[in-house]
Amino acid sequence: NLHGFLIQRAMASSATKPVLRVLCLHGFGEDASSLAARLAPLAAALRGVAELVVPPHGAPWWRASRVLCPTYRGCEDALEYIRALAETSGPFDGVLGFSQGACLAGLLSAIQSHADAEYEDSDTASDLAGGHLTPAAPPLRVRFAVLCAGFASRDARHVAFYTRTIEVPSLHVVGSDDWFVLRWLAASCARCFEGAEVLHHSGGHDVPEDVSGIAAFILRQVVKEDEVPGAASRAAS
């Protein structure tokens, strides 16, 4: 059910429309309400600028078949869920994920960047103007991504999406007290992105208590209204 969003609005009032809409994806073992509570300080910091949208989803996005070289069982369903969400409740300017949700946010960014690169490399890309082609449609299209305690997909089926640098502006949030392997995975994920920004905090596997660094990154994504995906449709609504 894509209706009845649990929406954490960072807005001054119900009459104020935010400049940015950010899709927020929960971690393994979380649900919409726990993620909304986790992000409440960030929502307050972005008041009047951004709307943090937490979809009503409570199950793991997928389950790994094993520890080493896993298959992500249920990942295809997760991607289709995001695609339907974007079609019915988008557009979204950015995506923010925590833990498994950060992996999903990174995978969505990788798919988007890979699709754009494949299209640009095609011999017939110039035919687009004549209406013969349309760009590949990834499940979600965003301008930026925030990955908190994230990691790249370890499913072999996704390797191709990470073979090129992911050209989506990104912030990677890493806790210095997080488990060493998870810190290493987060750093490895950041290296997959072009010009990735990395924010270290003193906590563990969590969103930092001090959200100013995340808020500052998101605030820098505010651009002219005509450059924001979906801005015209929001202005007309």
Catalytic residue numbers read: 99, 178, 205
Question: How do beta strands 197-201 and 170-175 pair?
Answer: parallel
Are 73 and 119 in contact by the 8 Å Cβ rule? The answer is no
Question: How do beta strands 6-10 and 50-54 pair?
Answer: antiparallel
Residue 147 in 3-state DSSP? Answer: strand
Token pair for 141: 């299209």
Residue 56: asked if its preceding bond is cis (omega within 30°), the reply is no
Cβ of 160: how many Cβ atoms within 10 Å? 12
Residue 199 in 3-state DSSP? Answer: strand
The CA distance from 69 to 34, in Å, is 30
Sign of CA dihedral 189, 138, 37, 1: negative
Are 55 and 35 in contact by the 8 Å Cβ rule? The answer is no
